[in-house]
Structure 1
């Protein structure tokens, strides 16, 4: 299993930091970036091969590739997204579809969280597999946080798994928030690639989470794993960045 980081977007709400850098390279703890924390997390759970999907300001990541590999003891593979500045991240994740068959943990490039999230997903996946349930896709879910309109909300049926994943949901109807970390087993590779393609062909501005909903609508199962009481933040704007800098020094 390898790490996967979609880091192709422009992050326009974080300008001027993102005038010349992708969001993943915005500093959050002295010189440490969001990407540093993500790579550290992967290394902590012994995932030493990591693919980064690049697009906007891709050269900034290319220039740092060797230094990042040495700092975190990982091997980085860069995947190009030629439509990064015009299409949304559903297409971005689809660009790495050939890697799904290796099994991946996808971690959004703007999510600051501890390695306990990856560890929780791996342990839950192992338990499901041992129980003969053959999981395909497993989402990290925050069931503790109070939700509002902006969050990527999920409803879960205990018997059937995730049923809806969307921002366009009454928070009172949601089981929790998807935090931007997914374990994808090789068994789900083809189904996920097909669902993502159908989604961006319907509308290039859709999110990869809309691809997850496409899988659910096709009758395919997506499981969730609560992460417990974990402090984390998705860094979309300057307020989020300030919160991220409070957390980053702990991780």
Structure 2
């Protein structure tokens, strides 16, 4: 199984930090970046071959590749998203489709969370080919990627465009992709960005559900984590990253 980090986004709301850096390389604890935390977590669960999807300011990742590998004891394969500044991340994840068949633990490159999230995914029962990490504890707002579940506990809906009161919880940007899902996920992602290049890869998951797929969720419990979209999120990330 491989680790995978989506780190192609521009992160415009984090300027000036992201004038020359992708969001994943913004520091959150001294010189420790969001990507450092992602790679540290993956290495801690013995996923040391890691695919990183790069795009915006990709050269900054290339320049730090050797140091990131040395620091975390990992081997990085960089996959380039040629439309990172034009299209959303359904296409970004599709760019790495050739690796799905090896099994992948995917993490968003803008999420600061402890390794317990990766552990929750890897320790969950193997009931489906896709398993999503969900926070079912926090109070939800409009911006979160919210989910609802079927009576059997499988994914029913995943979207930001949902009344928070209807949601079971929030998808936190971490997915276990088992090898059996490879072709079906790649096809659903392609259908998604061909329908609208601005859609999220989570819309690809919704496409799979619409096709009759079962997608499971794993609760992460009460965990301090944050998706870093803006300066307030970054301040929160700096509060909690030093405690991991």
Equivalent position of 1:243 in the other structure: 236
Matches within 5 A, 1:1-251: 1-124=1-124, 127-128=125-126, 133=127, 135-159=128-152, 161-251=154-244
SS in 2 for 1:230: coil
- The 1-side partners of 2:56 and 2:131 are apart by 28
- The 1-side partners of 2:148 and 2:80 are apart by 33
- The 1-side partners of 2:243 and 2:189 are apart by 35
- The 1-side partners of 2:145 and 2:54 are apart by 23
Give a deviation string over 1:92-126, Cα, whole Å, max 9, x none.
000000000000011000000000100110000xx
State the Cα distance separating 1:219 from its structure 2 match: 0.5
- The 1-side partners of 2:153 and 2:23 are apart by 35
Query: 1:2–1:49: 8 Å Cα contact kept in structure 2?
Result: yes
- The 2-side partners of 1:210 and 1:250 are apart by 33
Query: 1:143–1:226: 8 Å Cα contact kept in structure 2?
Result: yes
Give a deviation string over 1:141-161, Cα, whole Å, max 9, x none.
000000010000000114160
- The 2-side partners of 1:172 and 1:46 are apart by 38
Aligned length: 244
Where has structure 1 moved over 4 Å in runs of 4 or more? none
- The 2-side partners of 1:42 and 1:66 are apart by 17
TM-score (norm 1): 0.96
Give a deviation string over 1:33-82, Cα, whole Å, max 9, x none.
00000000001000000000010000000000000000000000000111
Task: Please report the RMSD computed on the Cα atoms of aligned residues, expressed in angstroms.
Answer: 0.7
- The 1-side partners of 2:103 and 2:151 are apart by 25
- The 2-side partners of 1:234 and 1:173 are apart by 21
Query: 1:234–1:240: 8 Å Cα contact kept in structure 2?
Result: yes
